[in-house]
Amino acid sequence: MCCQQNYVFCVICPFFYLKEKSQDCMYLQYCKVCQSYKAPRSHHCRKCNRCVMKMDHHCPWINNCCGYQNHASFTLFLLLAPLGCIHASFIFVMTMYTQLYNRISFGWSSVKIDMSAAKRDPRTIIPFGLSAFAASLFALGLALGTTIAVGMLFIIQMKVILTNKTSIESWIEEKAKDRIQYYQTDETFIFPYDMGSKWKNFKQVFTWSGIPEGDGLDWPVREGCHRYSLTIEQLKQKADKRVRSVRYRAIEDYSGVCCPVTKGVKTFFTTPCTEEPRIALSKGDLILATRGLKHWMYGEKILNSAGDGGIRERGWFPRKCVEKCQYDSETDQPVDGEKKSR
């Protein structure tokens, strides 16, 4: 709704996000997809097609976003899944040990395994043959792999929870340091939601009732920080990204496939390992590149017009399909020129 009414409609909850002053709108980010202002710590998910309160990431395994309402439940899932896999691994190991103990015979220079039948107790409840041994060994490998992979995710989640952050906010903090270092300013960015105590940060997510503290819209901040310090930093980073973006023109067609075979061996094997989309390119398309790898670039394709109101499509594309434009049409300045001054 209009900011003059002192209300900001929030698509992540079924009620109005009431603000004390209409000037607060200047500190909030506007979601063009949902056509509303986003509450602090909220982000838009392309997979769910909605804004999510305190979004951490979109998990394809649960087909949902991890955010304010289910952050604790998701973290407990990351804890209990490895514990269940450890229990299953113990069962598999003991099963193979007890079954192979009666079938292994040691010689002076060899070890023989008789998988036909048990020597001491041939009346087994479940026959343990070669196929059962292979299946148990395969399941043991899966259980151990899941324990390591999911266990590492649990450690990562606990690190961000103990600092009262999310994975996205940790990345925003890293970009804040990079922005300050790039422009060599005297400002310092302090994450506003870190309560200064790991126990207090822990209680922000985990409660005895299972319901997280707060309403997901307004958050307590540490002393000396502005309530919109994080959103102000995000707005600065978006403005900085527009300043540091470089305009490219497509010189080859690209279909948008994940691993293009016709764009070279190095491009094929170095495709970005991310869920971010690829964008199809036609010869002559204009792209604003914001970041890139050695053989890939990420940017926004201008579809309608070169102005700010043009519709843009974001994604990765091969670097060899584009060339740098000599002049930036928005500033009529060489793209290689100094862009540090703002």
How do residues 29-83 score in pLDDT, each as one tens digit? Answer: 888 888 888 889 999 988 888 899 999 999 988 889 999 999 999 999 999 999 9
39 lies in some domain:
no
Residue 330 inside a domain? The answer is no
Q: Specify if 299 maps to a domain.
A: yes
Q: How many structural domains does the chain have?
A: 2
CATH at residue 250: 2.30.30.40
Given the residues 13, 45, 48, 59, select the one marked as catalytic: 59
DSSP per residue, 284-313: T-EEEEEEE-SSEEEEEEE-S-SSTTS-EE
Task: Give the global pTM.
Answer: 0.72
**Full pLDDT tens readout for the chain, 342 residues:** 344 333 343 434 433 444 445 677 888 888 888 888 888 999 998 888 889 999 999 998 888 999 999 999 999 999 999 999 999 999 988 888 877 776 665 555 555 555 555 445 555 566 677 788 888 899 999 999 999 999 999 999 999 999 999 999 999 999 898 888 888 888 888 899 998 899 999 999 998 888 888 888 888 888 888 888 899 899 998 888 888 888 999 999 999 898 898 898 999 999 998 878 899 999 989 898 988 899 999 998 887 654 444 456 889 999 999 999 876 544 444 444 434 433
Would you say residue 21 lies in a domain? no
In a domain, 329, yes or no: no
Residue-wise pLDDT for 85-122, tens only, equals 999 999 988 888 877 776 665 555 555 555 555 445 55
Let me know the angle formed at the C-alpha of 49 by 45 and 55, rounded to the nearest 5 degrees: 25
DSSP element (H, E) containing 269: helix 265-269
Burial (CB count <10 Å: 0-12, 13-18, 19+), residue 25: middle
Range of the domain at 257: 245-305+312-324
31 is catalytic: no
- 138 belongs to a structural domain: yes
| R_g over Cα of the chain | 27
Asked if residue 147 belongs to a domain, the reply is yes
Query: Is 10 within the bounds of a domain?
Result: no
